[in-house]
Structure 1
Amino acid sequence: MPDQNPDTTPLAGQVALVTGGSRGLGRQMAWAFARAGADVAIVSRKLDACEATAKEIEADTGRRAVGFACHMGEWDAQQQLADAVLSEFGRLDILVNNAGIAPVYDSLPDVTEALYDKVFDVNVKGAFRLMSVVAPRMAAAGGGSIVNISSIATKRPMPRELPYAAAKSALEIMTQGFAQAYGPTVRVNAILPGAFDTDIAAGWDPEVVAEEMAHLPAGRVGRPDEIVGAALYLAGPSASYTTGVLLPVDGGRTAMGR
């Protein structure tokens, strides 16, 4: 028979680190992990935003939440971040590589070297380095879960987002590679969000987006809280046999075949 008393705190006793955790999808995931029983480390470049979010989460959930400042595009900063979180909490069970940038540009010839390098630094280099620092420690401690936030742009690339799509494609390759390298104790998966109503959406052309969304099976842009189910699943014990997976949460865009 189905469990009549499902566990409402499946992450009790665990510590989750969420990069880009002070806003958008990252904020929603950090809040959800705390409500599921985890203590959370909230990371972004702006310490004041992280600390403000941490205070709100603590007041709402009673879980411990601490803000940390870190630039995800800086290689050495990832070691310092991991050390700081482990020193503060004593353990790290869940890592969510959510921090990312998707700058807009007028045309492909307008993409500068600086823009291109920044996109890859934040979306790929920082995530790779943080995983390479954290995964061995998780394995030594008995296990953990890493969730990388990619994008449906890797499957449906558009001219206006090619550097971003290419960077997220690299993150997906790393997801599957790290899953092999650190299994069976450390699980590594990725979520591929479609269009969500977050800060990134501010740079979109609303008419173009409305036209695209009208053709989706879901018929609309996603709400930030609608990422939570996938994140809790992949981070939690219900996904104990799930690793190396690239999970679209995109309102059905991949189902359209175009």
Structure 2
Amino acid sequence: MSCDKKAKPAPVEPWVPVAGLPLPGHGAPEPELALEVADWVPPFEAFTSKRLIEIAYQFHPRVEPAADQTPQEFEYLFDNALERIAMRNAQYLAWERIETWRGLVAAVREQAPPGCQVGDLTIPGHDAAYFATFALPKTEGGTKLSSLTVHLSFLVPFYTYYEERSSLVEYATLERWKIDAVDTDISPELQPLLVIVEREIARRYGYRPFDVSISDIALPNLFIEGADVETRPTLMDALFSAYKPNPSADVRANEPLVPDYGAP
């Protein structure tokens, strides 16, 4: 094969987020989202902040433990809530379609700068999004690390990202990675990675970045698995992930630097 011509990327199947599909036991989708998969283009204008909040309440139950309720009773109510059943169905469907996401992670891995560590952190039954991190050592000795973390929702046609800056520290006689800072403004050294990631998302999903100005909208009385019970859950928690890196406490093991649950 000649090297002067670049091969065209293989076409990908249209992909629809869960909020655009009927779910078992959850009724038909709303009219503005009831579109044919083959002709589907994300109707971004339909996903107003009001609509996004409604979707959050579709997939997470309004459950609050009563004073006289045992943990077992609360767990039973949570697991059998219609919204929780809808989320389990959504997670199952997302896992059935995991190969599109794994193809994206593999494509980024192939195009990433030398030394980039790629980890697919998606775990079945967790959160409302696919989850990956792309890390670049910042110093020759490898004691500083910058990573681009990406969450791609399978409920709505949006993705979000942020940068974690970590350093290698001594912790209980072992070397560990400690998060120093988290920022939604991506540093220049990670910008080329972000361009690659966004290009692959556009090609495979047609998604757009989530509007960070509405990400912290509080959702009262919403119970999200994995969210901090001491704080009110947010729209970001509900549509993406309740995981929040904590610079003051989050310490990562040195082996492996970036776990990869989706590795072949």
TM-score computed with the length of structure 1 as normaliser: 0.26
Per residue, is there more strand in 1 or in 2?
A: 2
Per residue, is there more helix in 1 or in 2?
A: 1
Query: Of the two structures, which has the highest relative contact order with CA contacts closer than 8 Å and spacing of 6 or more?
Result: 2
TM-score computed with the length of structure 2 as normaliser: 0.26
